[in-house]
Structure formats: structure tokens, C-alpha cells
Amino acid sequence: MNRILLLCLSLFTVINAQAQFPMMGGPAKATVTGRITVVVVDSANQKPIDYASVSLTRVKDNKPVNGGLTDDKGKLVLQNVAPDEYKLSVGFLGYATKFIMVKTTPSRPDQNLGTISLSGTANTLSEVTIEGKKALVENKIDRLVYNADADATNAGGDATDVMRKVPMLSVDMNGNVQLRGSAVRILVNGKPSGTMANSVGDALKMIPADQIKSVEVITNPSAKYDAEGSGGIINIITKKSNAEGVSGNANASAGTRQNTGAFNLTAKTGRLSVNTALGTMFAYPQRSSVGFLNTTVSDGVTSTVNQLGTSNWSREMYNGSLGLDYDFNLYNNISTNVKYNNFYNGGPGTSNLSINNTLATNTSQSDAGNGNLDWNLDYKKTSKKAGEEFTISGQLTEGRNTNEFVNTLNIPNVPDLITASNNVGRNKEYTAQTDYVYPFSKSVIFEVGGKGIFRTIQSQYSNNSARDFDYQQNVGAAYSTISFNLTKKIQFKGGLRAEYTGINVNNGFKNDYFNLFPNVIISQTKGMTTMKVSYNRRVQRPSLSYLNPFRN
């Protein structure tokens, strides 16, 4: 406990010292827009003037950038106004044109000009379309990036299809992903998901390929990432719509084995964005057969079991999500997202057996399902120095897994032998994290942060309470990294992560341990060839299925 308090105190001191943003460097490119509100009235009788013309002209180049007509109450709100100095002209037929100087800033992007007697002519700025193409694959110092949105062949598929195109990844027939032959940890937008922890193959099938912007293959995770996992990290970046108004898409696929459907909708007005998504998958009952012959010899006695059986299992999945994103101004943003996933698979089975030449029949019913809820809340603060960023994040994950089976063995002239079990597993995980990034220059970047993870796992059996299992695991971590160029062609990135882990089990077992996880990577680019040398240290923590396996 003393180590945890010391670790948290040290982290708070570092972050408190770094969080005072120096106002250095050139201003970042504006990404937040505001609004200008006016009400136009007749100066003589104070009655509103509808259809009055309002034009907004940028002072520095004398170009009109926005405009419109007032409504029947004389009101007009000009949206998507970037921070700058403007001249607002207000006019109407029979009235003198009036000009007003307006200034908006990143910290105060909104301006309410109140009541104005006149409005000006609106000039329309011709629409300009800028198109650019990304490289399909980008090789960065600690990761390889596959830009899925640049590959037109991804249309109509799901995340599993995208993964098969990513270099260094392999996907088996069940949708499980490996990186150079090792298991990987999969994140979505930089965050872990309880759905991925339960079943990677099923979870990937629920993400339409059209919603994936890029896939990052992090072969050598820096100290910023959790030390848990052995084969690297895959980070799936989803698309974010910046278009004003309402947009969305829907896709569906049907086949002889499974059917899928997905729908997402985004509404954006000013600095507020709301998005929602729904998805479903249904697999037809699959008839499969299995047969085996088992012969054992004990004390000179030979026993033989010959079995031939069939099963008819089905699979069903659905999910839904809702997200909000709001920019207070250019430097402050808050976002939240909640997502629910539910999976089910199971069905009946029948086996014909010959046990030492005695015929028998076994019938079974197996059902397994899991439901998972993920909720994220994030705050981000930037400054006038491009690249400087301070974030605070919180995540709640709750999952419920069920496993149930009933086997009935029927042997002539012998009472039926019934074996049954019902297990419910629950997982709760609370995460709090803070990160700070400070670029000393374009090539020298310093990062520091901390994270706390609080896990509670419960496994309960309806017919055997002696096998009930309660497990608590708390992890406190702090890290620091730095990256810079050794030469024009050689890059360096290194860091250190410290983690303290405390474990408590209901059988009285307790354990705590402290670990340091260093990370170093050196990358050299020569022409089209990139060579990397890296070292890192990782840890693998067991999941519920290993801690308290379900035996059937």
C-alpha cells in the first residue's frame, strides 16, 4: 500500500508540474468553429425584418466567408465561423447598409451581437473541394499503419476482412488474429474493450469495414501502453464524421452460413456531434459430426468406447452504441461513448455410443452467452503550442458470461444418468488514466502519465458453491517516454513504465508485486527499406477462463 501511495504522489507531482501549458510556438491550425448571432429590426418601430441579408467578410483578405437571410423574427445564426477578425454587413431593400467589426478567438468562438438595425448583402463563396490520397501502408518508428479507408476493396466486409489485408497479421477460420504467430491485444480507438476480451473473432465480425479508418500494428508498444500482453497491440481507429448536418450509412450481407447487418448515423451541428450505431449477426444452425474410438487397458482389462455424434449449433450477436462529442473551444474537448454487445451460441447434440459392446445414447443441450457494456468519458486540453496535449480518461466495463449444459446418458435397463452445470461469470473493471504530451520540437516529444485499473471477477455455480470464485486485481501504473532523432535517418524512442499489482482471492490467497518495464526502439530508414532494433518487457495476466475454468 505504501508503494501505491508513493507512486500516486510522484505521478501527481509530475503531472501537476507539466500541466501548466507554456504559450510557446506558432498557433495550431484552427479546428474549432463558432457561431455569430444577430437580430435585425427596423430602427423606427423596432419590428423584426425578415429576409434581411447578412454577409460576413474576413478582414485580412476581404473575402466573404459566410452569410444568410434572417427569419420571420429577424434572427440569423451564422455557423462554422473560424476564429478571426471579420466585417459584418447588414442590409435590406430600402434601408442603409450597416457595417460592424467582429472578432472571434479560439477561447471565445461564439459572439452574440444582439439587435442590429440593418443587414448587408450576402456574397457566396464558391465551393472548393480538396482531394488527397494517403499511402495504403505507413511505416512509423513503433508501428505499422494500414489506412483501410484508402482501400476501396474493403467495402461491404467486416473487420475480419480488413485484418486479413494488414501486413504481419494472420487470421484463422474462426476470426482469431495473430501477430507473427503470437496472440495480440486489440484496442478500439486506443481503449480496451470487454467484448474483445471475451471473443475476438465474434467482436471483429460486428465492426463493418466501412467504419474503419485505419489499423495500427504496434509491434513494440511504448511505455504508454499497459504492460499486459505478449505479442504486441492492434489498435483499430474508427472513422469520425466532420460533415455538418446528418449523415449515415447502412450495409447488409447474406449467405448460406451467416447474415450480418449494420447501421450508423451521425448528426453534427456547430461544435456538437452525436453518433449512434447498431449491428447484428445471425448464423444458421450448423450441423457438425464427430466420431472417436477410445481403447484403454487397465490391470489387463480392455475397455472400448466408440462414439459417433452430431450437434446443431446456432450463433446470434447484436450491438449498439451512442456517442457525444463537444468542443468548448479550440483548446477544450469532452467526449463520451457507451456501447453494449451481446453474443449467444449453443444448441442440441446427440451421440450414439458403444461402451464395451453395450449400446447407449447421449443427448445434450449446451448454451453459452455473454453481454458486455463499455462506457468511456474523455476530456482533452490542448494549447497554442502544436502537439501539446493533456487528457483525462475514465472507463467502465461490465460483463456477464453464462455457460450451461445438460447431458443425459441413456443405457438400456439402467436409470438415466444426468449431468448438468450452470455457471455465471461477472467482470467489473474501472479505469482512470491521465496523459500529458509536450513537444520540445517537431522531432523531440516527451510523454508522461499514469493509470489505475480496478478489476473484480466473480464466477458462481448454481449446483456447486464450493467452486464459486471471487478475484480482485488492482493495478497502479506510471510511465514516461521520450522520442527524438539521432540523425536525419535514425530515430530513437524509449521509456520506462512502473506497475504495482495487488491480488486478492476469496480462498485467502493474496499477492502483490512491483515491476519495471523498459522499452527502447531504434529505427533507420534507407530508401524504401526500414530497419528496427527494439527491446521491451511484458507481462501476461490470466483471464477468468484460466483462473477458474468451466469444466463440462
Length of the chain: 552
Per the CB < 8 A criterion, the answer to whether 145 and 215 are in contact is yes
The residue written with cell numbers 480496478 in the block is 454
The span from the CA of 138 to the CA of 156, in Å, is 24
The span from the CA of 230 to the CA of 94, in Å, is 76
* CA–centroid distance for 177 within its chain: 17
Specify the pLDDT at position 1.
45
Cell of 120: 448587408
Cell of 175: 476470426
Q: Which of 166, 366, 175 is nearest to 257 (CA)?
A: 175
What are the pLDDT tens digits along the chain (552 aa)?
A: 444 444 444 444 434 444 444 433 444 444 578 899 999 888 888 888 888 888 899 998 888 888 888 888 889 999 888 888 999 888 887 787 888 899 988 888 888 988 887 654 444 445 555 555 667 888 888 888 999 888 877 777 788 888 888 888 888 877 788 887 777 888 888 888 777 766 777 778 778 888 888 999 988 888 998 888 767 888 998 887 776 788 888 888 888 777 888 888 889 888 899 999 898 888 877 778 888 888 888 888 888 888 888 888 888 888 899 999 999 988 999 999 999 989 888 888 898 888 888 888 989 888 888 889 999 999 999 998 888 999 999 999 998 888 888 989 888 888 888 888 888 888 899 999 999 999 999 889 999 999 999 999 888 877 666 677 888 999 999 999 999 999 888 999 999 999 999 999 887 888 899 999 999 999 998 877 888 898 888 887 776 666 666 555
Cell of 119: 443587414
Domains 34-116 and 137-238 are alike in CATH topology:
no
Cell of 370: 455473454
The span from the CA of 42 to the CA of 25, in Å, is 47
What class is the 34-116 domain? mainly beta
163 sits in the region (left: phi over 0; alpha: psi -120 to 50; else beta) called alpha
Cell of 211: 467504419
Indicate the residue type of 74. G
Specify the pLDDT at position 416.
86
Cell of 341: 454487445
Specify the pLDDT at position 344.
87
Output the DSSP codes for 303-367.
EEEEEEEEEEEEEEEEEEEEEEEEEEETTEEEEEEEEEEEEEEEEEEEEEEEETTEEEEEEEEEE
Pairing of the two strands 233-238 and 185-188: parallel
Q: What is the CATH number of domain 137-238?
A: 2.170.130.10
Query: Whole-model pTM?
Result: 0.70
Per the CB < 8 A criterion, the answer to whether 535 and 519 are in contact is yes
Please report, for the chain, the start and end positions of each structural domain, with discontinuous segments joined by +.
Answer: 34-116, 137-238
Q: Which of 99, 104, 128 is nearest to 116 (CA)?
A: 99
Phi, psi (5° rounding) for residue 403?
-135, 125
324 sits in the region (left: phi over 0; alpha: psi -120 to 50; else beta) called beta
